[in-house]
């Protein structure tokens, strides 16, 4: 419980505070705010309030970072989506954790709702920046990591608003790239999705992730009945030949790198051109593919055609 502040009396000698004056408390506020000790009651109240607010914000951000470590760990994200009520309960917590960890707590949202029919409008999710509303469709996502990638995409739209002349302009693309690089520095298992076909893999990407090339060569959608068959994490586990292997951590590294590479391509050619070409290449040029990835012999060479 905070101790009460006792104000100095006018009769006090200059520079000699009367008994009860909280000099240590004021000194701490001065250090927090970077200002000298206030000389009036109004200034003192303002300084104390500012110091408490700063400490409250730091405490809040620390809490959100701890929440991120729980919500965005490999084990937590590599889980099948529950029923819509479970997803609806998870989304606000994920938003708050990501907001504090990656957006400095500056994003404001009025509602995040689940709509299993949203894909009929042509997307996995959407954002209405004016009303600060995010909509996500769990029916087109294979795991919580998959859904989290779309959530981050929509959070970027909240941040950027109408700064770009088009929906996915250069500001959005640069922000998506920066966010993926920031996530990679944290070691968390989430990523920010650019678009539907942004997890394009090849041997070069596996080398960049520090993973053996044989995993790339053996990667294919398995015929197992596991819930994650066809997802990158599950198929990596199968390709390793070790049923106990943690394909989730490997998948998170690859998806971060692949999404970042897609952002760079989109910055070069524009998002519409990237979206069209990445779809075409996934359909006709992929060596193998799963539900959330495609493998190519040489992805960079295809872009040089």
Share of the chain above pLDDT 90, in %: 67
Residue 128 phi, psi dihedral angles, 5° rounding = -110, 100
pTM listed for this prediction: 0.78
Which pLDDT belongs to residue 242? 80
- Whether 236 contacts 215, CB under 8 Å: yes
**Per-residue pLDDT tens over the stretch 170-218:** 999 999 999 999 999 999 999 999 999 999 999 999 999 999 999 999 8
Give the residue with greater pLDDT, 44 vs 220: 220
Q: What is the mean pLDDT of the chain?
A: 83
Categorise residue 132: left if φ over 0, alpha if ψ from -120 to 50, beta otherwise. left
Give the residue with greater pLDDT, 150 vs 47: 150
Three-state secondary structure call for residue 190: coil
* CA distance linking residue 49 with residue 268, whole number of Å: 48
Task: Name the residue ranges covered by the structural domains of the chain.
Answer: 1-71, 79-162, 164-187+196-305
CATH number for the segment(s) 79-162 = 3.30.2010.10
């Amino acid at each position: 419980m905070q101790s009460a502040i006792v104000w100095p009396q006018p009769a006090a000698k200059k520079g000699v505070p009367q008994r009860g004056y909280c000099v240590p408390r004021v000194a701490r506020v001065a250090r927090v705010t970077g200002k000298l000790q206030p000389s009036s009651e109004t200034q003192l109240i303002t300084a104390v309030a500012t110091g408490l607010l700063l400490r409250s914000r730091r405490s809040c951000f620390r809490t959100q970072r701890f929440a991120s470590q729980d919500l965005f760990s490999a084990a937590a994200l590599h889980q099948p989506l529950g029923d819509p009520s479970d997803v609806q309960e998870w989304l606000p917590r994920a938003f708050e954790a990501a907001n504090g960890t990656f957006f400095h707590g500056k994003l404001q949202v009025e509602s995040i709702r689940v709509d299993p029919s949203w894909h009929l409008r042509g997307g996995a999710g959407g954002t209405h920046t004016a009303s600060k509303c995010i909509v996500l469709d769990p029916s087109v996502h294979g795991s919580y990591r998959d859904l989290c990638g779309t959530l981050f995409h929509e959070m970027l739209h909240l941040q950027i608003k109408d700064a770009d002349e088009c929906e996915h302009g250069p500001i959005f693309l640069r922000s998506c790239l920066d966010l993926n690089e920031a996530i990679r520095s944290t070691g968390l298992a989430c990523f920010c999705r650019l678009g539907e076909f942004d997890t394009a893999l090849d041997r070069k990407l596996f080398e960049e992730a520090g993973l053996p090339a044989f995993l790339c060569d053996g990667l294919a959608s398995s015929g197992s009945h596991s819930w994650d068959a066809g997802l990158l994490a599950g198929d990596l586990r199968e390709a390793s030949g070790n049923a106990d292997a943690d394909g989730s951590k490997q998948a998170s590294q690859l998806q971060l790198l692949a999404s970042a590479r897609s952002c760079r391509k989109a910055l070069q050619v524009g998002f519409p051109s990237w979206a069209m070409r990445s779809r075409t290449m996934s359909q006709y040029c992929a060596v193998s593919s799963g539900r959330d990835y495609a493998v190519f012999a040489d992805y960079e060479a295809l872009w040089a055609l």
